[in-house]
Structure 1
Amino acid sequence: MNAMTDTPLDTDPLRDSALYFNRELSQLDFNFRVLAQAQDAQVPLLERLKYLCISCTNLDEFFEIRAGTMRHAQDLGLAPGPDGLAPATVLSRIHDRAAELVKSQYECWNDVLRPALSDAGVRVLGRNSWNARQTRWLRAYFRDEIMPVLSPLGLDPAHPFPKILNKSLNIVVVLKGKDAFGRAGNLAIVRAPRSLPRIIQLPENVSGGKHDFVFLSSVLSTFVDELFPGMEVKGAYQFRVTRNSELLVDEEEVDNIALALRDELIGRGYLRAVRLEIAEQCPKPIVRTLLENFDLPENAVYRINGPVNLNRVIQVYDLVQRPELKFPAYQQRVLPGVDSMFDTVADGDVLLHHPFDAFSPVLELIRQAAEDPHVLAIKQTLYRAGKDSPIVEQLVQAARNGKDVTVVVELRARFDEEANLGLADRLQEAGVQVVYGVVGYKTHAKMLLIVRREGRKLRRYVHLGTGNYHSGTARAYTDFGLITADPDIGNDVHLIFQQLSGLAPSLKLKCLLQSPFTLHAGVLKRIDRETKHARAGKPARIVAKMNALNEPQVIRALYQASQAGVQIELIVRGACTLRPGVEGISDNIRVRSIVGRFLEHHRVYWFANDGTPDLFCSSADWLERNLLRRVETGFPILDHDLRARVYDEALSNYLADNLSAWELQASGQYLRVVPEEGAMPHSAQATLLAKLCG
């Protein structure tokens, strides 16, 4: 039975698969919205190039994770999800939709951005456009810098098809003739070592242009004949294979998860293939050979009209110092001169809205804690910290200064596993107590706890965030951070750390909601409360912002709330499996996605609560994994003024956006929002830049 409706599960109309979009396809569609930024003439030219590259790297990750997981589900014969689509059907639709995206990406590059960049004096030269002087220089570069590190492999019984590293650049070469040993040529593979730059900048005195570039793939294809003297090169075709990168460690079957992950990481680059990108003109027999070697079906191949590693052109963004071709620089707001972060926070909670507010107060809080003789203990979660993290340096220093330092390092943070293993080793060597979290549950919560002796009492200072402790992403992602000395919040965070480092039972927290225990139930409870208010004739409203939404119980609860008359406005950046606008079901639900200069990352949940609003910031999206299979926190903003600020800046402001917003239709299509006649144009991010950084 459905506890909320007392309806038998098999007859519950809110479980109808027609009410749910597919998560994978919805995630894939997000990249069309990113690509639209690259196609927007109002965006500075080099920023458009950056958006194109982001859409390409996003697509890579999609195949490595989402498509890889779906192929695994197909192998296991798993049942369809709430959308009713079998894994094989999803994979077929992924191919069709991804092919559309790839076609649009290369049209954007070939027909729009590359010519526009050339007009602006930034030229990415194709092999057919090199003049004699450029060709001579590139040939010499090939011989001096590239050829010495290449190891071409002719394919024959003694040299079977080599292992191809995930996302590496390769050239398949068709040969005619015989080599020095009398062996007949057929096919050879040339692998581009990772040490080689994928974008080569031509000297100005050679090319005549200050910003002239060539893809490594073009150089390899042009001069590959020099690797096979005495043989005729009949064709050279670049290709790239993408592999499943989801590490599968059975944590219950290993004694040491760190050792198990180290073993898994060794082979990650050679896991099962999920996609083959190949030059558009490559003959079908060669494509078939590659598909057979990678054990891939026909619908896993993508023919490419350009470089297979188009995302590598992002290097041009950093190499070209042309401010007029980029977003205007801005100055992050800095907390006014603070001698003691502890005195400042003791006087009142501090709310930081990144990237508009600098991340420096968090760094300063940790630095002061490391040096303060009154600080006894520091506890922190680290999911992604970044290379050469100043936070790690301060935690090491704190341990050396005799503080009791405990760090929960999430070893399974996707694509940061290796970095986090190294980080854990460094912390342990400095005397920090390192905890790897809970078996089966990623620790995704962002928490910092500092215990300080003040007179005869101990006081807890806490930082809670919606984003990672990463100085780099704090300049690129929108996130909230709260620094507080509230005793109830401090005690809740203390209990969670005890639970993570020990074997404590489930907790009774006073302020925080916690996955996998109370956050899911807490969200459902508050949605249900709004539903009851609406049925009682009271005003009822929910506004929530997150990165993704797919948890079926939450979606059904939102449908029920909509049916009761609750006005629901969702700001969901990426995948959303809820279908809005269905008459009688979700006609009171509106879903929008914002794509702008910064990556939308904060999660905020607001419930009207009959005039006494509830507002939580959180590390968790409304996804099954976040609500049910991770350690996450949702933290209330208790200060009235700060709560109003979060609502105004992250919710009301974004609902008013009519320049960077996309509206999700009942059909599944996203339509770009345009200002209504007479309405003032409004960009949420631009408004915050002007308001907070102006």
Structure 2
Amino acid sequence: MNDATEPTLPSDAQAPASLHDSSLYFNRELSQLDFNFRVLAQAQDAQVPLLERLKYLCISCTNLDEFFEIRAGSLRHAQDLGLMPGSDGMTPATVLSRIHDRAAELVAAQYECWNGVLRPALAGAGVRVLSRDSWNTRQKRWLLSYFRDEIMPVLSPLGLDPAHPFPKILNKSLNIVVVLKGRDAFGRAGNLAIVRAPRSLPRIIQLPESVSGGPNDFVFLSSVLSTFVDELFPGMQVKGAYQFRVTRNSELLVDEEEVDNIALALRDELVGRGYLRAVRLEIAEQCPDDIVRTLLENFDLNENAVYRINGPVNLNRVIQVYDLVGRPELKFPPFQQRQLPGSEAMFDRIGHGDVLLHHPFDAFTPVLELLRQAAEDPHVLAIKQTLYRSGKDSPIVEQLVQAARNGKDVTVVVELRARFDEEANLGFADRLQEAGVQVVYGVVGYKTHAKMLLIVRREDGRLRRYVHLGTGNYHSGTARLYTDLGLFTAHPEIGNDVHLVFQQLSGMAPAIKLKRLLQSPFTLHDGVLKRIEREAQHARAGRPARIVAKMNALNEPQVVRALYRASQAGVRIDLIVRGACTLRPGLPGVSENIRVRSIVGRFLEHHRIYWFGNDGNPDLLCSSADWLERNLLRRVETCFPILDPEIAVRVYAETITNYLDDNLNAWELQADGSYVRLAPADGQQPHSAQSSLLASICG
């Protein structure tokens, strides 16, 4: 639908005052935290293969780490700045207090799952993670020898005294605080010492079968350190040894307008990332209170930051067992990704019509193949691509390097600030530049999160543009783990729109008018609001009105209010939101026509799809953007229409009706903020969206 015929938006000031009431909004951070309970539920589900349950447990732990590094860290910064409450009316201090309570529940559930469910179940299946009190004489003898030969030589224990103040503790590193009694060789009285485990040491140690009697026996490094720590302090008595781990804020703050070179500034920031402000202390459950207080004082934390742990403080490291154990019957069965049929060259294939890939069910190889063919094709003149996350040793980067060496004009927009991938992105940006690729670092103040590939080819004396647009990253690894859509097209208007966006990113172009794409931060937010209002107008006129949207998260207040208004007008709305959702569904007079569900299954749900019924002439859009403030207002994002009718039918069937029918992996959000896992009703066939796609696409 073009701009000239789109309905006029009501101003935000026209929204009923009640729609600004803080009681209508969940807190984004608490909602995001609750997602990990749904992940943990997969670890508790006996229908899931045992080693996959272990992986879900570890994912919930890793997610919690990142939550504290980013969300809690940002909240503490907001508290320091005295920022005002958001739509939910909660101050940063209030949110942090509630995070502690809810996170403590999650941690307790994680360790109950490990200690009471998974560890015994694994042992029953012949995969044993042995606790200290279960080691037999032979195992203990071998572990002592291993400690002396492999661990002790790389340790540097630090006794705390006036000459040895409390050391800097690296983010998420494993440490042991040791209580000592006696005097050392210099006559110094023992008190406390810190033993830091270098990152070079394996956190999970596999025992030889000759020692343990089984091929799959493991121990945590933390258990070995705690048991044999007295070896580090000869002549002194060890009164106690308690593992701990500190989590620090990992959000890099680079004032882009105050630096001349963002790459150099980011390199400097990365050096100190591991030692930023502390936000969480995990400590062994039995650690005495006075030692906990000493640690809190040194990390400048209060009691609200302490989590006492009944087990290893780095539980997520048990994920290594998944890869070390060759027991396919304890894992999801492997699947064969679908390849594009036939041997037609990619340019011929796309030239004949749009092509859709649905990952991970469809292989990512056609994207790599298109780039390979473009790098070698003498008729290809230019290649332009955005890279947000692509992984180490990325085949995408290698193809772009080869294209540049073959004389193509290659431009790559690299987002250096992709969280936790900054160092990798700096590395491949250097490699691209060395090969002669023009590397652009995006736009100051706006992360470039769009997923675009543009190839310019000369055909029959004219230039033709070939485009790939996606909802996910150009990353071969995550394309096997995340659900995403990718569209190949040679549609002239889409190709020209993508060309204009690249011009805008690499140059200093003014605002551009796009014919087919919506773009953040310019037209996507407004375009979403207009389409929601259009459905509301259809409903008010007595016409059918329907909205279905699938995304990772939702918190943009104007979008939430627009959805509330549409619900009040009678629009039926289904939202499939994997993680955080600030919209409160099911409220009489406000959101009784809105349902929100979250799908948690084998693959990480990652598509962003917006469908608007439009009185029988539906709009189907795919995007790199969630309905979050940052995506709609502070990032460069693209949103593209599905124009081919057959592909539109396929996308609707596979990503909308399929997911709305799920009654095995779906959780429905209630008006009170809780989630209820759905189950087949009496006489209803069980249906898993992801399993259905695996069965129908992969065979």
TM-score, normalized by length of structure 1?
0.99
Structure 1 residues not aligned, in runs of 5+: none
Distance 2:556 2:293 in 1: 40
Distance 1:362 1:413 in 2: 21
- The equivalent position to 1:680 in structure 2, one of 685, 691, 699, is 685
Counterpart residue number, 1:210: 215
Q: What's the offset of the Cα at 1:450? A: 0.2
Counterpart residue number, 1:284: 289
Q: What's the offset of the Cα at 1:346? A: 0.5
Distance 1:472 1:529 in 2: 39
Bigger CA drift: 6-15 or 568-577?
6-15
Asked if structure 1 preserves the Cα contact closer than 8 Å seen for 2:456 and 2:463, the reply is yes
Distance 2:19 2:433 in 1: 50
Give 2:282's aligned amino acid: E
Counterpart residue number, 1:603: 608
Asked if structure 2 preserves the Cα contact closer than 8 Å seen for 1:348 and 1:484, the reply is yes
Counterpart residue number, 1:457: 462
Give 1:480's aligned amino acid: L
Counterpart residue number, 1:475: 480
Distance 2:650 2:521 in 1: 29
Q: What's the offset of the Cα at 1:29? A: 0.1
Asked if structure 1 preserves the Cα contact closer than 8 Å seen for 2:9 and 2:529, the reply is no
Give 1:88's aligned amino acid: A
Counterpart residue number, 2:3: none
Q: What's the offset of the Cα at 1:338? A: 2.5
Q: What's the offset of the Cα at 1:455? A: 1.3
1:167 aligns with 2:190: no
Counterpart residue number, 1:643: 648
Counterpart residue number, 2:435: 430
Q: What's the offset of the Cα at 1:337? A: 3.1
Counterpart residue number, 1:240: 245
Q: What's the offset of the Cα at 1:336? A: 1.5
SS in 2 for 1:188: strand
Counterpart residue number, 2:83: 78
Distance 2:45 2:287 in 1: 32
1:348 aligns with 2:353: yes
Distance 2:323 2:117 in 1: 20
Give 1:568's aligned amino acid: I
Counterpart residue number, 1:95: 100
1:372 aligns with 2:382: no
SS in 1 for 2:671: coil
- The equivalent position to 1:357 in structure 2, one of 356, 362, 375, is 362
After superposition, the C-alpha distances for 1:403-432 in whole angstroms (9 at most, x for unaligned) are 000000000000000000011000000000
Distance 1:75 1:534 in 2: 46
Counterpart residue number, 1:512: 517
Q: What's the offset of the Cα at 1:8? A: 4.9
Distance 1:264 1:6 in 2: 41
Q: What's the offset of the Cα at 1:570? A: 0.2
Summarize the Cα distance change of 1:655–1:145 in structure 2 as closer, same or farther, 3 Å threshold. same
Counterpart residue number, 1:663: 668
Give 2:65's aligned amino acid: D
- The equivalent position to 2:19 in structure 1, one of 5, 14, 18, is 14
Distance 2:10 2:404 in 1: 54
Could you list the structure 1 runs, at least 4 aligned residues long, displaced by more than 2 angstroms after superposition.
Answer: 3-11
Distance 2:162 2:511 in 1: 60
After superposition, the C-alpha distances for 1:301-340 in whole angstroms (9 at most, x for unaligned) are 0000000000000000000011110001110000113341
Asked if structure 2 preserves the Cα contact closer than 8 Å seen for 1:547 and 1:574, the reply is yes
SS in 1 for 2:404: helix
Asked if structure 2 preserves the Cα contact closer than 8 Å seen for 1:410 and 1:420, the reply is yes
Q: What's the offset of the Cα at 1:13? A: 1.0
After superposition, the C-alpha distances for 1:240-288 in whole angstroms (9 at most, x for unaligned) are 0000000000000001000000000000000000000000000000000
Asked if structure 2 preserves the Cα contact closer than 8 Å seen for 1:548 and 1:573, the reply is yes
SS in 2 for 1:643: helix
Counterpart residue number, 1:416: 421
Q: What's the offset of the Cα at 1:5? A: 5.2
Counterpart residue number, 1:267: 272
Aligned length: 692
Give 2:342's aligned amino acid: G
- The equivalent position to 1:111 in structure 2, one of 110, 116, 125, is 116
Counterpart residue number, 1:690: 695
Give 1:34's aligned amino acid: V
Structure 2 residues not aligned, in runs of 5+: 1-7
Query: What pairs with 1:315-330 in structure 2 (closer than 5 Å)?
Result: 315-330=320-335
After superposition, the C-alpha distances for 1:599-627 in whole angstroms (9 at most, x for unaligned) are 00000000001100000000000000000
Q: What's the offset of the Cα at 1:12? A: 1.3
Asked if structure 1 preserves the Cα contact closer than 8 Å seen for 2:69 and 2:249, the reply is yes
SS in 2 for 1:233: strand
Summarize the Cα distance change of 1:8–1:142 in structure 2 as closer, same or farther, 3 Å threshold. same
Asked if structure 1 preserves the Cα contact closer than 8 Å seen for 2:204 and 2:220, the reply is yes
1:56 aligns with 2:61: yes
1:384 aligns with 2:366: no
Give 1:325's aligned amino acid: L
Give 1:343's aligned amino acid: D
Distance 1:338 1:377 in 2: 24
Asked if structure 2 preserves the Cα contact closer than 8 Å seen for 1:338 and 1:344, the reply is no
Counterpart residue number, 2:633: 628
Asked if structure 1 preserves the Cα contact closer than 8 Å seen for 2:12 and 2:558, the reply is no
Asked if structure 2 preserves the Cα contact closer than 8 Å seen for 1:447 and 1:463, the reply is yes
After superposition, the C-alpha distances for 1:451-510 in whole angstroms (9 at most, x for unaligned) are 000011000000000000000000000000000111110000000000000000111000
SS in 2 for 1:545: strand
SS in 2 for 1:79: coil
Summarize the Cα distance change of 1:8–1:508 in structure 2 as closer, same or farther, 3 Å threshold. closer
Counterpart residue number, 2:28: 23
Give 2:268's aligned amino acid: D
Q: What's the offset of the Cα at 1:434? A: 0.1
1:190 aligns with 2:195: yes
SS in 1 for 2:266: helix
Distance 1:500 1:648 in 2: 35
